[in-house]
Chain A
Amino acid sequence: MTFTKPGIMRRAVGVLALGTLGLAGCAPGSDQDQGEPAVTGDVNTDGASMGDVELILWDQEVRGSQASQFTTLIDEFEDTYPNIKINRVEQSFEDLSTTLALALTDPNPPDIVQANNARNDMGAFVGAGQLLSLEPYATAYDWTERFGETVLKNSRYSSDGKLFGEGNLYGLPQAGEIVGVFYNKEKLADLGLSVPATWDDFTAALEAAKTAGETPLMLGDVEGWPAVHVFGPIQGAHVPPDEVTALGMGNPGADWTTPQNVAAAQQLADWATGGYFNQDFLGGDYDAVVEEFANGTGVFLMAGSWVGAVIDEQMGSNAGFFTPPPAQAGSPKATTGGTSLPFSVTSGSKNPDAAALFIDFITNLHAMEVLAETGNLPILHTAELAPAQGVWADVFAAFQDVSDTGYLLPYLDWATPTFGDEVLKPGLQDLMSARTTPEEFCAALQEDYAAFTAG
């Protein structure tokens, strides 16, 4: 622009500025009604009597086996209740995380959403009054009977969203999740190794693989969160489980800067700088790298059970899975895991009864059978539904074992509203490329955690 007449330009800007000043008195948000929405009166559990209903559903069940169990269940649900139609909007986990917060602020939000348990997701939504407490439905459908409290507590928040792990129920999961180690059986055998019994055995196996010219560990961390599932198990092998749980749930009483935490961070940094990962571990795409592993690249893949189907399909009996081993052989195992993203009902839903009916339907015994048949890890009846062989047999057994005798540790990004996106994900990438020291990494995490727990 030729500002041959800067005076006019300045005046134009001045007009804008003046218009703004007039508004300064009125705070944003003052016109919005707050308050806890609740289901009033009796809940209806009789689908046939609900009339014609359309439910909008936002989910991230997009990977092969997850997609197939989900479409199967939706079809069955619509057959059972012809008057209720499910309008599904599926997205990747990453895209759902970024768009759900926006969608829930809408006066007409989706009816059913898959909300991450994290404080920045479910916690924030509960605090904003965007999710419906499912307590009345839990009573009506006997959900507390169906699910144990260990499962339900991951979807419990106080109604202001501040306390995590207690309070009202805001969602139900379908699948169990355990983060562990997938491995290529042939390659492990070629290295002359067996499934490691202790954490030191595991690190020795990684070193052996490296020496043999293999890629020990596969990782595709372009989205930032996959590395959390590598660090989680490492931390589980170093830090007492109750401390990890406090850190992960953002509850007070723990410390990120303990020597054990620093040692865990140090180990991840050593793995990365020592060349244990594939060369493109920072810029590689998560699913693409899982696919590469399934096609025979790399010896180990530390990832969640949800990629099991892709691996099973491609590798068949060549794939195995084990729980990250404990420091001492035979002591309880601890690793990241728990439940898949829970399904919640939004406060803005006009048909909460139908929405709750759907959630009940996709989490009942029959649904668990469908999950198992299509290559998923059902959260309930895991032992009865376990397949006899293949990588899924390993996954089911590992989940059962850790649920019964070990510790399923929370996902670390649950901790505080800013923890995952602001601190942990970029922090892990910085750590793995030696741009920060383990001490600095832990100090940054501690700062965020301490600020949050101090209130």
Chain B
Amino acid sequence: MRRSPLASTRAASGSRLPRRHPGAPRRSHRNHSRPARLAVPYVFLAPALVLYGAFMLYPVGRAVHLSLFDWDGMGLGVFVGLRNYADLAADGALRASFVHAAVLMIFYCAVPLVIGVIIAAVLNRGKVRGLGFFRTVFFVPQVIAMVVVATAWAGIYAFNGPLNQTLRSLGLGFLAVDWLGSYTWALPAIGLIGTWVEIGLVTVLMLSGMAKINPELYEAARLDGAGAIREFFAVTWPCVVGETAVALTLTIVAALKTFDLVYMTTSGGPGNSTTVPSYQVYYQAFRLHDVGMAAAIGVALTALIFAVNLVVNRLADRAEA
């Protein structure tokens, strides 16, 4: 899936705006026959459905299909049923890649959420001058290609790069470690790149939610003598649960597809400490020639994204209800 800041799937179906008009043409002044009129929406949809079917739905089906075979991508595949999935569950290194993805979720979702909410609350409450400027700046990492982001950060994390130089000049040289070569730090270091990228997205989403809050609520809270923090939990937070769900959905998806970042920074090392499922898909298919396994990982990844989305939105619905 694309890194879609706004692919707020929940928004679409949950639209509470009244549809002002039922839509379909009730009558046409032209002399279309009834079947022709009925066909109109399908004609409009046809090109999208054909292309989408051919290059999205069919490949998804094929991925499930391929995942049932032992195939090297060259010879004839052998049907093995669900064995690739069993191997996936049994293989320590592959399982670890999913664990790493879970760790990355903390850095891609939880941390940006906290920081993004704070920034948005500040921007919203403070009636800060230069709001447009800050908003534009915070969002910039979202629009830059991951390859570029990785290049920028690999330089920063280099052993004699700016980060360690800064630490050393502050007299904190003992903290200067080999970030991308450390079993302890490589994964968090990659995660922090994700934090850096996602903060802007969360901030913009939160701002949009907060902008819709009735100012009278704030005034009431302030009359009650609520400080900034109580005001936040009493007024702001309940109103942005929906946006939080959207933000979580999007950042979780981003955390689960970190192929280019890992490809550019650590290639999965040291050891296997930064392998992620999306990297494994590529690696299994084109380096180890195990196409069935690659497809199985892709399918598992998709299932995981569906499941996480489901949970997040169930929780959000409950919180709002």
Contact = CB atoms under 8 A, between A and B. Distances in A.
The short answer to whether A and B are in direct contact, CB under 8 Å, is yes
B69 A28 contact: yes
B263 to A, nearest CB: 8
Contact of A101 (B249, B270, B287, B309): B287
Given A2-B316, A28-B76, A284-B178, 8 more contacts: A1-B310, A3-B310, A29-B73, A29-B76, A34-B75, A34-B76, A283-B181, A433-B271
B134 to A, nearest CB: 30
A422 interface: yes
Contacts of A32: 74
B77 A435 contact: no
A288 B178 CA distance: 14
B78 interface: yes
Given A27-B69, A105-B73, A429 B269 contact: yes
A16 B61 contact: yes
A279 interface: yes
Given A23-B62, A426-B271, A28 B71 contact: yes
B79 interface: yes
A222 interface: yes
B185 to A, nearest CB: 9
A27 B57 contact: no
B124 interface: no
Interface stretch (B6-14, B38-46, B100-108, B211-219): B6-14
A128 B178 CA distance: 41
Contacts of A127: 74
Q: Which of B69, B159, B177 has the most chain A CB within a 10 Å cutoff?
A: B159
B267 A223 contact: yes
A27 B270 contact: no
B272 interface: yes
B288 A417 contact: yes
Given A19-B57, A23-B62, A34-B75, A1 B13 contact: yes
A221 B71 contact: no
B179 to A, nearest CB: 6
Contact of B286 (A5, A23, A102, A418): A102
B288 A421 contact: yes
Contact of A29 (B10, B71, B317): B71
8 contacts: A23-B61, A24-B68, A27-B77, A28-B65, A102-B286, A221-B270, A222-B266, A430-B270
Interface string A377-413: 0000000000000000000000000000000000000
A429 B75 contact: no
B271 A435 contact: yes
Contact of B271 (A5, A94, A430): A430
Q: How large is the interface on B (under 10, 10 to 19, 20 to 34, 35 or more residues)?
A: 35 or more
Contacts of B271: 426-427, 429-430, 433, 435
A280 B178 contact: yes
B181 A20 contact: no
B205 to A, nearest CB: 15
Contacts, number: 152
B61 A282 contact: no
A2 B270 contact: no
Interface residues of A, number: 52
Contact of B65 (A23, A223, A224): A23
A29 B75 contact: yes
Nearest to B310: A3
A102 B282 CA distance: 10
Contacts of B68: 24
Contacts of B83: none
A98 B287 contact: yes
A279 B168 CA distance: 15
Contact of B77 (A20, A28, A98): A28
A254 interface: no
A40 interface: no
B221 to A, nearest CB: 29
A169 to B, nearest CB: 22
B3 interface: no
Contacts of B289: 101, 124, 417
A1 B313 contact: yes
A419 to B, nearest CB: 11
Contacts of B159: 278-280, 283-284
Nearest to A97: B287
A49 interface: no
A293 interface: no
B6 to A, nearest CB: 13
A-B pairs, top 6 by smallest CB distance, nearest first, are A283-B181, A282-B181, A280-B159, A1-B9, A280-B178, A283-B180
Nearest to B69: A28
Contacts of B309: 1
B65 A16 contact: no
A324 B44 CA distance: 72
Contact of B61 (A5, A19, A128): A19
B291 interface: yes
A453 to B, nearest CB: 18
